[in-house]
Amino acid sequence: MDCLHPFCPMGAGAGSWDEVAEIVVPPRAPRRALAVTGLANALKRDFSQPPAAGATRLPAPTTVKSHLETLLDLCPCLVNQMDAPVSAGAVVHLCELTLGARISSTNIGQAFAIQHPSGRTWRYPPFRVPKAGVGDISELLCSDLLTNEGVPRMGLKHDKWPDWQVPGHALMNKGALRDLRALGDILIPCAPTNLLISVKTESARERLLYSANSIEGIGFGFFNQADEFVTRRRIQLFKRMGFSAIYMPDDTLRQIEAELARRGEDIADVQNIYGTRLYRPHSVFTSDMRRVVGRSAFDL
C-alpha cells in the first residue's frame, strides 16, 4: 500500500509535505496557491516526524481537516499521528510497517495475523480502533499482493469505470463495478470469460461455495478449518459451482492433504474442470494469475 508521508518508515514517501499538498488540493480549488501553502505549512508544523511505537494524537488543523479523506488515502501513516478514521487501506499499510516489507506471497499470512481483531500486534498502532471489516481488509491484502507481484490494481476513469489494462485487476467494490459486487471481489481480465476472485477470511462456509455463480470462480482466503474442504460432497459442489482454484494457507492445505491421505485419496486428484489442482497454496497465486491475465482462463 503506497504512502506519501515524507517520514514513512517504508522509505517511499514524497520528498516533502509541499509535494503532498500539491497533490491533495484540487486543481480548481479557490485561491489554490494559498490553500496549498496553508496545508503544507500545517503538515510541516505538526507531522514532521515518523510514526511512533505508541499512537499519538497530534492536532489536525482546519486546513488539514478539510482535505482529511484524501490526505489519509495518500498518507495512511497519519492514522498513527491523529484521531482519524482507520480505513482498510491504512490497516494494510500498518501491516506492512510491522513486517518491514511489502505484502508478498511469503508474508501475506503474517499480515493477516497482525491485524486480526483477536490480538493486533502493530509496530505503529493507529490512534483509533479500525472500523474496517476483516473482509474488506482481506480483500485489500489480496489486491496488494497482486499489485506487488505483477498484476497491478487499476485506477478509475472519470466515469468511474476501471481504466482497463493488462496485466491488471479491478476491485469490484469501487466505482461503477460496485453494482456487480455480488459476483465477486476482484476481477482479472481473461478469455473467454473474466476470472472473478471471491476473497474470504478464515471460514469458507456456503458463502464461498455460492460465490462462484458457475462463472470461472477463484477462491482466496485465510481458511483455518480444513474440514470445510474435505468431504466428498463439498469437493463435488466446488467443482459443480465452477471453481477453477481455491488458494489457502499452507497449514490448512497440509491438513486437507493429511485427511485425504487417511482416506486413501490424493489431494492432486481433487481437480477443477480443466484437470488441474483445485486446492492450491497462497505461494502460487500470483504466478497463476500472471500466467492467465489477458490470456486464456483455461490455462489455470
Question: If we measure between CA atoms, which residue out of 57, 50, 22 comes closest to residue 38?
Answer: 22
pLDDT tens digit string along 115-168? 987 778 899 999 988 988 888 999 999 999 999 999 999 999 999 999 999 999
Residue 195 phi/psi, 5-degree rounding, is -90, 135
Rg (CA), the chain: 21
pLDDT at position 214 over 60: no
Residue 1 CB-half CA count within 13 A: 31
Coil/strand/helix, residue 227 = helix
Residue 142 has what pLDDT? 97
Considering the chain, what is the average pLDDT of its residues? 90
C-alpha–C-alpha distance, residues 54 and 51, integer Å: 8
217-221 and 195-200 strand pairing: parallel
Cβ atoms 197, 177 nearer than 8 A: no
Residue 125 has what pLDDT? 93
- In which band, very low, low, confident or very high, does the pLDDT at 247 lie, cut at 50, 70 and 90? very high
pLDDT tens digit string along 49-101? 999 888 777 666 677 778 889 999 999 999 999 888 999 999 999 999 999 99
Cβ atoms 25, 37 nearer than 8 A: no
Residue 61 has what pLDDT? 63
C-alpha–C-alpha distance, residues 7 and 17, integer Å: 10
How far CA 171 is from CA of 2, 61, 144, 161, 165, in Å, comes to 16, 33, 11, 11, 13
Residue 53 CB-half CA count within 13 A: 0
- In which band, very low, low, confident or very high, does the pLDDT at 277 lie, cut at 50, 70 and 90? very high
Buried b (16+ CB within 10 A) or exposed e, 96-114: bbbbeebbbbebbbebbeb
DSSP for residue 212: S
Tell me the pTM: 0.90
Q: Where are the alpha helices (DSSP H) in 205-284?
A: 205-209, 232-240, 250-262
Bond before 26 cis per omega within 30 degrees: no
Residue 133 has what pLDDT? 87
